[in-house]
Amino acid sequence: MTKPRVGVVGTGWWAGTAHLPALAAHPGADLTAICEPKADRAREVAARFGVRHVFVDLADLLAAEVVDGLVIATPHTTHHALARAALEAGVHVLVEKPLTTSAAEAFDLVDLAESRGLQLTVGYTYHHTPAAAFVRDAVREEIGDLVCVAAQFNSATQTLFGGGDDPGEPDVPHPMTYADPARSGGGQGHTQVTHLMGAVIWTTGREVEEVFCYQDDRGLPVDLVDVMAFRFAGGGLGTVTSTGTAVDGQPPRHRIHYDGTRGTVFHDLATGAATLVRAGGQRVECPPPSEGPAYPVGAPVRAFAELLAGRGTNRAPGDLAAATVAFLDAAYRSAASGRAERVPHRGDANH
């Protein structure tokens, strides 16, 4: 297919400000359908972006056979059921991160997509930057054996995770989508740590064997501060720190350091820059992008359309996203149990 037909399930903040505008403007995609249970919202969004087919139920959309691919941009805990229905109908799927909120559900989607010969990809925006490609090559080819990874992500999510009444404006984040564990599955971990570990696992191509996690909700209904220590399968250690307590004027800290036996890589996700330091001190720089944002919000759906058209590769494949979910699954269990927890792997007999 040269111009795949793509639909979007969910028309909330992120779909309305990232996915839908990018698809509508992309010459390589035909934005054909919207699925949104709030009929008035669905019609308004369809009119705004020139979408022909409007549905309030996913089953009706799938039965109409008007899409080749679907973007799932709904609350975290709904991802599995919606993505599974699409895959069972023979439709390729991009799921907004996190892929799911449990390892078993994530592995189920990967298995199903592979069995049907379908593409499953995840909305990890940082993967679609020049710095991400530079870092991946440097970590895999330049720094020798991976010894240690240190990752940090701060953000101002405290108000969002505090809950309260949702605003009337749909194109802004709705606190109850994130503050209600029944919808979000968790707080800083599923919303922000997923960025870091999604990048680490995609960059290294390595799964994590075991993780110990401390969490602090600071009186909120979901975790706000996460500190994790982990061990890679096959050797190498890592740490993750993430807090949602950033204040106005505080510079973002979204960064990952990879230390190897022959060098180090510094990845600044916030600026889109990276540096390789080889043994002996030689530095190789990947500067921030000269054009376009460091966080290209429309890139995942454009890449999804190109993937379906046969013009691109899967930059955020389901199997690596599932390994990220498995890491978070074990981290949340560790925070509850007070001990290190084994990270489930897709090859386990009872995943």
Q: Where are the alpha helices (DSSP H) in the chain?
A: 13-14, 20-25, 39-49, 58-64, 79-88, 103-116, 130-141, 158-161, 175-179, 181-184, 188, 194-204, 299-308, 318-337
Give kind and range of the element (H or E) at residue 149. strand 146-154
Per the listing, tokens 């989607």 go with 109
Instruction: Pick the closest to residue 154 from 275, 238, 18, 247 (CA basis).
Output: 247
Cα→Cα distances 163→75, 159, 173, 246, Å: 14, 7, 11, 17
Write down the catalytic residue from 80, 97, 127, 195: 97
d(C-alpha 89, C-alpha 229), whole Å = 40
d(C-alpha 205, C-alpha 199), whole Å = 10
Kindly state the DSSP code that residue 295 receives in the 8-state scheme. Answer: S
Phi/psi of residue 152, nearest 5 degrees: -140, 140
Cα→Cα distances 32→14, 64, 304, Å: 18, 11, 15
Number of residues written out for the chain: 351
Whether 97 is catalytic: yes
| Pair 19, 8: CB distance under 8 Å | yes
d(C-alpha 116, C-alpha 349), whole Å = 21
Q: Residues 308, 310, 311, 313: is their CA dihedral positive or negative?
A: positive
| Pair 195, 126: CB distance under 8 Å | yes
Q: What is the CA radius of gyration of the chain?
A: 20
Beta partners for 341? 211
Active-site residues: which are they?
A: 97
